[in-house]
Structure 1
Amino acid sequence: MIRGMRGATTVSSNSEEAIFSASEELFAKLIEENQIQPDSVASVFISTTEDIDAAFPAKALRELPGWSYVPVMCMREMPVPNSLKLCVRVMMHVNTNVAQENIVHIYLRGAKVLRPDLNNSPAL
């Protein structure tokens, strides 16, 4: 079974350092909370809002041990008026036997407003 594991965070500024730092934190918590092994991941989609263009968040994932060969794609989020700014979102497609209701989705920093109903993880 492939399950989607979601998460999002915001960055403090449109700088390479801020993008890598926030993205690495998001990916690490999503991986830890769901005990994800790189070889169980089918693909990863990462989107950013239009105000993020100083670096690819995927680079932060690629630097984690074992993630070199996982298919990762960055894309642009829809520019909806009054939507959250400086936001990085992720969707990991993971082969798992974990039930849907037991998947831990991670929303950090300013992105907690996107899914307040899911902000009950111990990592948050």
Structure 2
Amino acid sequence: MIRGIRGAITVEKNEKNSILIAVEQLVKNILDLNEIDPENVAQVIITMTKDLDSAFPAEAVRTMDGWKYVPVICASEIPVKGSIEKCIRVLMTVNTLKTQREIHHVYLEKAAALRPDLTG
């Protein structure tokens, strides 16, 4: 079965290292909580808010073990007034036997406010 797993994290500063560390932390949390092996990841889409422009977030994923052949793409998040600043979002498409209810979506730092129904 193919499932989507969502996640988001915020950073304090628009710095390359901060962005890459945050993306790696978020992706590792998604993998660990959902018991996913990179071999079962079909693709990853990463968006960032317009106030983050110091790094390509896909760089963090591509350097992780087992991710060389996983398609990863970056995009800009829609600039909605009043939205959370310095936010990185991930949508990971995976092959898994888990049901929708068994999937653990991950929202870290200030991004936890995006989906309190999933972070509790």
Normalization by structure 2: what TM-score?
0.97
Q: Separation in 1 of the partners of 2:64 and 2:22?
A: 14
Gaps of 5+ in 1: none
2:92 maps to 92
SS at match of 1:60: helix
Q: CA deviation at 1:103?
A: 0.1
Q: State the 1:51 CA deviation.
A: 0.5
Deviations 1:46-71 (A, max 9, x none): 00000011001111111110001100
Per-residue deviation, residues 64-105 of structure 1 (Å, max 9, x unmatched): 100011000000000000100000000000011100000000
Shift of 1:30: 0.5
Q: Which residue of 2 aligns with 1:39?
A: 39
* Partner SS, residue 68 of structure 2: coil
Alignment of 1:97-116 (within 5 A): 97-116=97-116
List 4+ stretches of structure 1 deviating above 6 A: none
Superposed displacement of residue 106, structure 1: 0.3
Structure 2: which 5+ runs fail to align?
none
Question: What is the CA-CA distance between 1:38 and the residue it aligns to?
Answer: 1.2
Residue 20 (structure 1) aligns with = 20
Distance 1:63 1:33 in 2: 21
- In 2, distance between residues paired with 1:60 and 1:86? 17
Quote the sequence identity (%): 49
CA RMSD of aligned residues (A): 0.7
Give distance in 1, aligned partners of 2:118 and 2:38. Answer: 24
**What residue number does 1:4 align with?**
4
SS in 2 for 1:73: strand
1:48 aligns with 2:48: yes
Structure 1 length as normaliser, TM-score? 0.94
